[in-house]
Amino acid sequence: MDFVQLLDMLVHVDKALGQLIAQYGTLIYAVLFFIIFAETGLVVLFFFPGDTLLFIAGAFCATGELHLGLLIFLLVTAAILGNTTNYWIGEAIGQRMFTHDYRWINKDALQRTHNFFEKHGGKTIILARFVPVVRTFAPFVAGVSDMTLVRFQLYNVTGALLWVVSLTVAGYFFGNIPMVRDHLTAIVLFGVGVAVVPMALGAAWKIGRKVLGR
C-alpha cells in the first residue's frame, strides 16, 4: 500500500470500517486512535473523519465487532491528547508573536483574542468539538492566544468526554437507522445551534445595553 492509498483509507475509514475490522482485527483500535488524535491535534489533517467515525464505530459496537467501553476510553484519550498537542503548537507560535516585534502581527488583536479565550474560551472549546474543521482549529487558537493551560485542560477533557461518549453511544443505539446515519452531520450541527444561539443572543443583549448606556 503506497502513501496515497493509505491516506485515502484513513480519510474514508468511516465508510469501510466493517471491512477494515474484518481485515485487521484488534489493530483497528490503533487506527481509530490515530485518526481521532490527528484530526484534533494536527491542523493540516482537519479533513479526517470525526463525528461520522465516532458514530459508525459505535454502531459496530452494537454488533459486537468492537467493544464500546474500550473504544470510548481510547478515543477520549486520543481526543484529549490531540487537542493538547494542538494547543502546545499554537502556544509555541503565540509566544513568538507576543515577544517578537512582527510588523504583520496586530498585537492588540492578539491580546483581544487572548482575553476572549480567557472569558469565553471554555464554551468555545467544548462546543467546537461538535463542529467539523472548527474543532481542529479551536485548540490551536487557544494556544496562540495564550489561554492558561489549566483552564484549557478543564474544558478540553470535558469536551472530549461529551463528544466521544455522546456520538459513540448514539451510534450504538441508532447507528443502524438509515435516516439518522445519513443525516448525522445536520443533526449534530442542529444540536450545536440550539446551544449556541441562546448564548449569542445573550451576548448581543449585553453589548446592546452597553452601547445604549443602560
On average, the pLDDT of the chain sits at 77
Instruction: Report the distance separating Cα 179 and Cα 132, nearest Å.
Output: 20
Q: What is the mean pLDDT of the segment spanning 102-126?
A: 65
Crossing angle between the packed helical segments 134-144 and 107-128, to the nearest 10 degrees: 140
Based on the number of CB atoms within 10 Å of its own CB, is 156 exposed (0-12), middle (13-18) or buried (19 or more)?
A: buried
Four-residue CA torsion sign, 196, 201, 207, 209: negative
Residue 117: is its pLDDT beyond 60?
yes
Lowest mean pLDDT among 12-16, 132-136, 182-186: 182-186
Give the CA count within 13 Å in the CB-facing half-sphere of 209.
6
Instruction: Report the distance separating Cα 52 and Cα 69, nearest Å.
Output: 18
pLDDT digit string, tens, across residues 57-82: 988 898 888 999 999 999 999 999 99
Q: What is the mean pLDDT of the segment spanning 108-120?
A: 63
Q: Which residue did the predictor score with more confidence, 127 or 80?
A: 80
Residue 28: is its pLDDT beyond 80?
yes
Long-range contacts of 206-214 (CB under 8 A, 24+ apart): none
pLDDT band at residue 207, thresholds of 50, 70 and 90? Answer: very low
Instruction: Report the distance separating Cα 190 and Cα 145, nearest Å.
Output: 28
Q: What percent of the chain has pLDDT over 70?
A: 63
Which three cell numbers mark 153?
485542560
H runs (alpha helix) in 100-183: 107-128, 134-144, 149-174, 178-182
Q: Distances from the Cα of 107 to the Cαs of 11, 99, 114, 170, in angstroms?
A: 37, 10, 10, 43
Domain positions in the chain are: 3-212
Residue 107: is its pLDDT beyond 70?
no
- The model's pTM is 0.77
Give me the pLDDT at residue 188, please.
56
Residue 213: is its pLDDT beyond 60?
no
Q: What is the mean pLDDT of the segment spanning 145-160?
A: 90
Residue 186: is its pLDDT beyond 80?
no
Lowest mean pLDDT among 23-27, 47-51, 182-186: 182-186
Give the CA count within 13 Å in the CB-facing half-sphere of 139.
32
